[in-house]
Structure 1
């Protein structure tokens, strides 16, 4: 009689994405092992957690010996650590894809190589370089750190050329260590994301385009499918496929897009499961988390079609009262088990419905009960058929 051994998925990073990956892995008979550099990472509440520094080679070697495949839940895991692990165990997505997404200049260059239009951009290495970039690109523009920027961090918007000194005062210290990039500001009409998954055998699927709204650079509300996308779904999926094949990517990723005058412009790529895809847990036949586990372990991919329409509230800083969500028809609550802190993602809620009109009613009712009308308002406008 042959013995059965459950596969073990190793996850670098122990935040809420790792937490949701572990929860999605369990029904598939997959164990998870998480490593993070802090002892209280919230994924440790649902999966075994090893605390180790990313540069602790002995700890990483021991971690590799315990797992069958390694993935990661955020893109700031050092690519060198992923490469070291790849010498001992399969790592998906591959470390080269991770490295590309860690550097905004490399990422934007890759976009253009793949035929993805982008805003104008130039590298900035010193104060004189900022002046040269501004002379080429003009204002308004956004100065960003090339690395370690997310959720609006590491960015300074220059409304006019006169803001150059203030921008340099804010970010210039990062030029020597992480490098900077100046990007033209895009007066976009919409922000969308395409969530995609590619298997180890090259099979490729996308979920319907998601419409997103941000507050202070952090995702506030998502709608899926995004209303009034016309032919954008086919175009966005084609761009995502090209990118995935160029990088020989395995797993789930998000391509964030601006829509300006009907044109799709690449903003950023997230080489992991993504905040704008959390609605898929209840709103899709197969969630982004389950499909990521399937992809990296070489399992068949699941159906990415939707069950109807979904809206997701992102909870930042602290959780509101859960009762209105729990009382709602098809309302779903997710507490990440984190201590409240300003600017911190601590949970989300999703409400689903069979059609857009019903979703608008449920979204409005929940927002009013929570006192979150302002957060829901752009989504309600979009569901009402007007541009947002």
Structure 2
């Protein structure tokens, strides 16, 4: 029986295990935390991601390795790749770990991006602000996610505060300034590429964030066919350039009817959770298929879907499950402020039925503010 190893034992690894079990696969998870939630469903080896001996012992137990998050040290990924298949490939992972490398790749492929500049010191920040202007965002080049490692510079008067907040990271992980985009919508395309180069993508998803953390996703996004095609073409170009294998997400802004690339995530993605119930093959199953060289499944939608993230603590499952088309996902985590502890998906055959279900769910859970922007989008037609 094939055993797939996963570096990282969070909810993404947990859902990979759930998707791969019906395929007759075994899973082993490597994570620094003894209470990693994927360990509730698979074997768990506790260790640091830079512990070469522990990683080698883990690799000896599995047939291939993948990731549930992107910040595994590059040296560790390369070490493992010398022993067995590691997918996505370490070189592809390295590009997505560095915002500067990522933006440079996008630009080289002709994918529109906001203006950006690498920052090495305070003088570099001042020069970038003079060229790019404000508002803009100062970010760490590495290790930022869910809005972390960022400082929004609204005017030049904010430069000192921005440098005080992040300047020490310039020598450690590097900094980048990006022009602030007054976007109309945030969207993402989740795609998969197999070992043989086969490429598939799910329909474009619209996303709503609160304080930098995903709150809700709607699929398919209410955009024209041209943007759908452009987003998938961008994703394909990236995957082919870096010889990517597995699922990844490309996050984009819509402004003036055009797409601007924000960033990519080299793994299964929060904005693709709706695919579990809302697509013929979920992102999790297709990721497992891709990294093990199995044929990819259809990415066609099953009607319309909305995913709602649960942060901090789980709401009332019974109240939500009384809503038609409701599906519940509890990650088995301890409650903690701001922590992703679960999600739920509403699926319906029509947009009208999805709107009705969202109204019911918002009222049942007393979360009308979370569902209101999605309902408003559905009512636009």
Task: Name the residue aligned to 2:54.
Answer: 59
- Select the residue among 118, 122, 129 that pairs with 1:134: 129
- TM-score (ref. length: structure 2): 0.99
Distance 1:116 1:231 in 2: 15
- Select the residue among 343, 355, 360 that pairs with 2:355: 360
Task: Name the residue aligned to 1:143.
Answer: 138
CA-CA distance at 1:340 after TM superposition: 1.1
CA-CA distance at 1:262 after TM superposition: 1.1
- Select the residue among 153, 156, 162 that pairs with 2:151: 156
Q: Secondary structure at the match of 1:91?
A: coil
- Select the residue among 20, 34, 41 that pairs with 1:39: 34
Q: Does 1:217 align with 2:212?
A: yes
* TM-superposition CA deviations, 1:223-266 (whole Å, max 9, x none): 01112333111111011000000010000000000000011111
* TM-superposition CA deviations, 1:152-193 (whole Å, max 9, x none): 000011111111001111111111101110000000001000
CA-CA distance at 1:326 after TM superposition: 1.1
Distance 1:169 1:319 in 2: 36
CA-CA distance at 1:59 after TM superposition: 1.2
Distance 1:193 1:347 in 2: 20
CA-CA distance at 1:89 after TM superposition: 0.3
Q: Secondary structure at the match of 1:282?
A: helix
Task: Name the residue aligned to 1:10.
Answer: 5
- 1:190-229 counterparts in 2 under 5 A? 190-229=185-224
CA-atom RMSD, angstroms?
Answer: 0.8
- Select the residue among 342, 364, 367 that pairs with 1:369: 364
Task: List structure 1 segments (4+ residues) > 4 angstroms apart after TM superposition.
Answer: none
Task: Name the residue aligned to 2:294.
Answer: 299
Task: Name the residue aligned to 2:337.
Answer: 342
Q: Secondary structure at the match of 2:225?
A: coil
Distance 1:316 1:76 in 2: 22
Gaps of 5+ in 2: none
Gaps of 5+ in 1: 1-5
Task: Name the residue aligned to 1:3.
Answer: none
Distance 1:260 1:80 in 2: 38
Q: Secondary structure at the match of 2:60?
A: helix
Distance 1:341 1:229 in 2: 39
Q: Does 1:308 align with 2:303?
A: yes
* TM-superposition CA deviations, 1:284-316 (whole Å, max 9, x none): 000000000000000000000011000010011
- Select the residue among 66, 73, 79 that pairs with 1:71: 66
- Select the residue among 182, 186, 204 that pairs with 1:187: 182
Distance 1:133 1:320 in 2: 44
CA-CA distance at 1:62 after TM superposition: 1.2
Distance 1:190 1:208 in 2: 15
* TM-superposition CA deviations, 1:1-44 (whole Å, max 9, x none): xxxxx111000000000000011110001111100011111100
Distance 1:111 1:15 in 2: 29
- Select the residue among 96, 100, 119 that pairs with 2:95: 100
Q: Secondary structure at the match of 1:178?
A: coil
Q: Secondary structure at the match of 1:17?
A: helix
Task: Name the residue aligned to 2:170.
Answer: 175
Q: Secondary structure at the match of 1:272?
A: coil
- TM-score (ref. length: structure 1): 0.97
Counting matched residue pairs gives 381
Distance 1:306 1:366 in 2: 22
CA-CA distance at 1:324 after TM superposition: 2.0
Task: Name the residue aligned to 1:80.
Answer: 75
